[in-house]
Amino acid sequence: MGRGDVPGEFEQVVLLTLAGFPAEASGRQVYEALGDATERDVSVAAVHITLGRLEEKGWAERRTSDPEPGQGGKPRRHYSLSEAGAGVLADLRKQLDGLWTQARNHPLFGGDTGA
């Protein structure tokens, strides 16, 4: 994974949130799931902007539904994790797992103190 291919921290959180849905989710569903899982105070707009950026990078896919009468007649956007996005998450996990393996040796994480 090249340097430009690494998602930022918030992009990672949104990608992981998308990965928690078996199919697709609306931006509102992603926002709510992200808030529930992380207890972060984020705006709906930040989630929508990030979903758009993930789509541009090919890490998420978007489907626009037909307008629904009960929702003011607006079409709704639904997002899903793309194969490329799943690959990015898998690469990130591999990297982080390696780093956590090393960090376990640190005394603050219960590793050997050398005494």
**For the chain, domain boundaries:** 7-82
Asked if 30 and 16 touch (Cβ cutoff 8 Å), the reply is no
Distance CA 62, CA 30 (A): 13
pTM of the entire predicted model:
0.82
pLDDT, position 68: 74
Distance CA 1, CA 63 (A): 27
**Mean of pLDDT values over 6-17:** 94
What lies within 8 Å, CB to CB, of 112 at 6+ separation is: 105
77 SS3 class: strand
pLDDT in tens, 36-74: 999 888 999 999 999 999 999 999 999 998 887 776 778
CATH 1.10.10.10 fits 7-82, yes or no: yes
Distance CA 106, CA 47 (A): 35
- Of 5 and 47, the one with more pLDDT: 47
